[in-house]
Each structure stands twice: as structure tokens, then as C-alpha cells.
Amino acid sequence: MPGEETRVSRQARNGTLILGGGFGGAQVARLLGTAGATIVDPVGALLFTPLLPEVAAGALEPRRALVPLRTMCAHAEWVRGRAAGLDEARRVVTVETELGAIEIGYRRLVVALGSTARLLPIPGLAERAITLTSLGDAVHLRNHVLRRLEAAEADPTNATRQLTFLFVGAGYAGVEALSETRQLVEDALRHFPSLRDARPRWVLVEAGSAILAEVPDRLASYTARHLRHLGVDVLTSSRVRSVDAGAVTLADGRRVETETVVWTAGTTPRPAVRALGLPLDERGRIVVDSALRVEGRCDIWALGDNARVPNSATPLRPDPPTCQHAVRQARAVVRSMAGDATPYRYRSIGEGATLGRGRGIARVFGVHVRGRLGGLITRAYHVRVVPSRSRRWRIGADGLLSVVLRRDIVELDVGGSVSDRARSPSTAPSTEPAKAPTGTAQATTAGVDQVADGMLAPTISTAIAGGHASVLASTHLPGRGTERRRTNAWAPPSQGPIASPSPAPARTIHHQAGDAEDVAAVEDRLGSEPAAQPRPATSTVTST
């Protein structure tokens, strides 16, 4: 019928469609080498989540935590969008893009959609808590903490409440976020003369009997002692009953007056996973076999945070949702796609956590390390697994400078986190780009978090990827209050959401150690398949 909207169909490059560009999905595409694949992701960059606490504390520039998929997976094509449905009979996935819905066909499907914060049904939690799962969340937490210092300076009678910071969840994310944020506040207070005698209060709430349940008891006990020595109230076997305006009530009736609640108590697979109609366990994770094939399917694989992955090295428990395991699972998926059904097996070489001021804990090959050496080992591992040489150098340099120099108090004017805008749509910042003086460029004053969640047009994401954003610099001058200066960055418009239709260049990819054998096997078995020809960058057509 005239005017009827229809979906545009296209085929995934080389028949391999990957949903999600996180650690698992991006690593699968990288290991496929010149065989190629199509990645569906709303951002187009790998977010290095272990670095989010340091981004929040100003130890790292936000863009350091992102690695563009176009550079990491040079032979894969990227479609900006979100998976909205799966038709297994037709072997197509419906993808929502900025220009409308399209259908992408596949012969092999990999689901690596990742996870998001798991918010419990606690009154006031969803409306008032700050999560730490995206780049926007990290920047928002930093801005929020700095503004609490400003509020305490402006209203001394309520300074105690403004300077109380409560973190819920004492796993890696919670302990690192509290430690790094505490260092930010400690360094920032020297710019607030009227708060010189203030003593910020830090509270860490954990439902379990001990913090850091993932690490050996010896290191967990050391961390608890270290935090208590710094003045942190470590409350184990405690739960949050409600979150009100200006206070948190615990299950035992205690009430903590605070304006800051940071929720790091676990993650859950993204809602899009349920929309695919695949078999799930009680936690909403996709059920896979020992070769990471989805249960009952021969052409669909799943890995990472959205899958329950059995590990023959730890038969009593599935893999935890960590980047270290997702990278190893990707190798197993690539081998399985090439016909090798060897059961997945991986034993972790260790784990670690940073505790601020260059300190940390680490377990490497059974050896327990703590203090500055523990912090150095943890940071070295984080840098090593970043799949970009330039990013590794920049992260290393930022980390060194954060130890030698104090943190500054510059805010990124991003308009709040994604979760904040979802709670208060009426206060959401406009994503309409302002016109630049030149007439050909556009101002990028929207949030880093919007780019991280794929909510902005390519124009803005290009500017952020280049390291530019609208910056709100706050300078505290004695006797003159706070002087604010805004600087806008400019970026030229870019093209639509569909990847370039030109074929992948014939060039060599530099793989991580241990990847060469996997790549050779895949290219030998999959490389002979004809590459699918991408369709034009159009998402909707009108029939006549």
C-alpha cells in the first residue's frame, strides 16, 4: 500500500552477527580477523568498565575508558542500533536504529549484550541512587560529589549531611569506587578553605558477612582493616530498607543522613536479552552448553555477563561476570564456531582491586600482594588487557600523574546520568545540537553518558570520541565564591548509523598474545565463505 513503511533487510558480513560491542562481543569480532563480522551496538566503542571508578575520581580522562570498535575490529562492520527481536525460523534479528527498524540476517549469531545495574525493590532506591555501570554514571558521580562540597560550603548547618557518602555493595566496584572517590574529596577539600576542619563521613554497606567475597579471606580482611583505618564505616550483614530525601534507613533501624547513595550491589542482564526469546536461568542469563552454544541451538552462541557459562575448571560454579572471563570465553566461542566443541575451561590467574593513593590488593598465581605493589600489579593488569596500544600508554600516563599530582576539581557538564533522565524526563537536557558560528559545525554540549548509551546522533559521538565535550570549569576564589567558565567543543556532522558499505581492507591485524592460533583456524574455515554485500545506509523505505 502507498505510504506503508517496510523494513530493510541485509545480511551480516560473512554471515556472523554479533549483538553487543563489550568485552565478549568485541573480542569475538577481533579474533575472527579478516573473516569479518557485523557488530550491532549503540555506542561503537568498547567501554573498559574496570576503569570507571578511576574515571569518577578524576584519575583518568573519560575517553581513556573507551576503545573505538572501528580500530579494535578493523575487518568488522558496525551498525549503530539496539537488538529488538529475534526470528530464529528466518534467522534474522530486528535492530532499532536512529533511522528506523531494520532486519539483519545471519548464519551464526553471537549474543553478548552485557549487563546493567541490578536495582532491588527498595523504596526510593531507583529515584535517588547513583549507579556505576556506564561512562555517564562515572562522570555524573564525579560532578555530584564535587557539588556536595559546594553545597556544604554554601550551607554550613547541613554540611555533615552533604559530606556523608554512602556506598551499597562491597564487591570490587563498591570498594574501588569508595576508595577512589574518597581520594577525590580529600584532594578537592584543599580548595575549600571554609571546610578545612570538615571531616567527611564514608559508609560502606554490605549484605554479606564480609567485604570482597570474590577474593581470599586474607586480602578481604586486610582491605576491611585498611578502610576502617581511613575512617570508613564498614557495615557488614547490613541491608538498606529505604532511601529518602536526605537520608537512608538501614534494616536494623539505623538512619544515615546523606545526599549521596551509590549503588554497586550487583548486575543483571540487559532487558533486551529477554526480548530474544532464548532459554534463560532464574537470574535472566542465557543458558549455554560447554562450547558456549545456546541450549538447543546449533547456530547461536552467548557469552559474557548475559550468559550462564559453565567452566570445566570450576564445575561447581559458572563463570563470574568479569572482563577477564569474557575475553577467554570469546576464544572458546570462536573455536566452537569453527567446529571445535572442546569444553570451555579457564582458571583465573588472579584478581585485584585498587584502594586509592596507588595502593591496592592482588592475588597472582596464588601469591597475595597488598599495598603499593598490589596497586601497581592491579593497574598493570588493567593496562595490559586494554586492546589498544595508544590507550595503554595514555592510561599508564594518567595513572602515574594521578599518584604524583593531586586531582583537580573540573566538572564535565553532562546534564546528569542516564538513570537520572529516566527518572525525571522533564528535566532531561536537550540533545538538539546548537549551531556553530561557522555555519558548518555543531556544538556538542550534550552528555558523555548519552554517547555511552548510544542516545546521541553520530555528530556528537564523533566529538566525544575525539576527546571533546562541553566543560564546566569551577574555580574557587577566596572571598569571591565560585567562578564558572564554559567551553564548548565543535565537531563536523557525520554520516548515518549504518557502517560504510565498502569492503574490509586487506591488511594485517595485530592480535593479542595467544590469539594467532584461533585466528588462523577461523580464517582457514570461515574465510572462504563469500562476504555479504552491505546494503545502502537506509533503514526505511516506502512502498508504492
State pLDDT tens for residues 17-63. 999 999 999 999 999 999 999 999 999 999 999 899 989 988 888 98
The domain spanning residue 342 has which CATH number? Answer: 3.50.50.60
Cβ–Cβ < 8 Å for 263, 281: no
pTM to 2 decimal places: 0.74
Q: How far apart are CA 278 and CA 515, in angstroms?
A: 29
204 lies in some domain: yes
pLDDT value, residue 408: 67
Residues 258 and 371 placed together within one structural domain of the fold: yes
14 lies in some domain: yes
Given 456, 471, 491, which residue is the final one in a domain? 491
Residues 217 and 366 placed together within one structural domain of the fold: yes
Residues 342 and 480 placed together within one structural domain of the fold: no
Q: Measuring CA to CA, how many Å separate 39 from each of 93, 110, 243?
A: 12, 9, 39
Residues 436 and 474 placed together within one structural domain of the fold: yes
Can you tell me whether residue 195 is helix, strand or coil?
helix
pLDDT in tens, 437-480: 333 333 333 344 443 343 333 333 333 333 333 333 333 333 33
Residues 32 and 145 placed together within one structural domain of the fold: no
* Virtual torsion, Cα 374, 379, 385, 386, nearest 10 deg: 170
Phi-psi region of 306 (alpha: psi -120 to 50; beta: other; left: phi over 0): alpha
403 lies in some domain: no
Residues 378 and 482 placed together within one structural domain of the fold: no
395 lies in some domain: no
- The dihedrals phi and psi of 436, each to the nearest 5 degrees, come to -85, 155
Q: Measuring CA to CA, how many Å separate 406 from each of 177, 241, 371, 398?
A: 17, 37, 19, 12
The domain spanning residue 214 has which CATH number? Answer: 3.50.50.100
Residues 138 and 153 placed together within one structural domain of the fold: yes
Distant-in-sequence, close-in-space partners of 464: CB < 8 Å, separation ≥ 6: 63, 444, 448, 451
312 lies in some domain: yes
Tally of structural domains, the chain = 3
Residues 194 and 231 placed together within one structural domain of the fold: yes
192 lies in some domain: yes
321 lies in some domain: yes
Mean pLDDT (the chain, rounded):
79
25 lies in some domain: yes
Domain that holds residue 28: 5-116+268-348+501-542
Q: How far apart are CA 334 and CA 518, in angstroms?
A: 7
Residues 281 and 337 placed together within one structural domain of the fold: yes
Residues 57 and 132 placed together within one structural domain of the fold: no
Residues 110 and 136 placed together within one structural domain of the fold: no
Identity of the amino acid at 281: D
Low-confidence ranges of the chain (pLDDT < 50): 1-4, 6, 415-544
Residues 372 and 425 placed together within one structural domain of the fold: no
pLDDT value, residue 413: 66
